[in-house]
Amino acid sequence: MKPDVTRNEELPIYESLIRERGDVVEEARVVAEETQHQMTQALNGHAAPPSEPAAH
C-alpha cells in the first residue's frame, strides 16, 4: 500500500486532466441526480415533458 504522500502528489495530474477534458465524474453525478429527480416526479404522477439534451 502506498503512503498518503504519494496520493497527494498525484492530485495535480488529476486536476490537469479535469482542466483539459472536463470533470466527467461531476457531470455524471449531476445527470444522475437530475434523472433521479425526474423519475421521482414521474412515479408521483408529476412528469414533465422530456427536454432536449443539453448541447456540449
The 10s digit of each residue's pLDDT in 32-55 is 999 999 999 999 988 666 666 666
Q: Counting every residue, how long is the chain?
A: 56
Tell me how far apart the alpha carbons of residues 50 and 38 are, in angstroms, rounded to a whole number: 9
Higher per-residue confidence, 11 vs 20: 20
Residue 22, pLDDT > 60, answer: yes
Higher pLDDT, 9 or 28: 28
Select from 20, 42, 21, 23 the least CA-distant residue to 31.
23
The pTM score is: 0.54
pLDDT of residue 31: 97
Instruction: Identify the DSSP state of 53.
Output: P
What cell numbers appear for 43 in the block?
Answer: 412515479
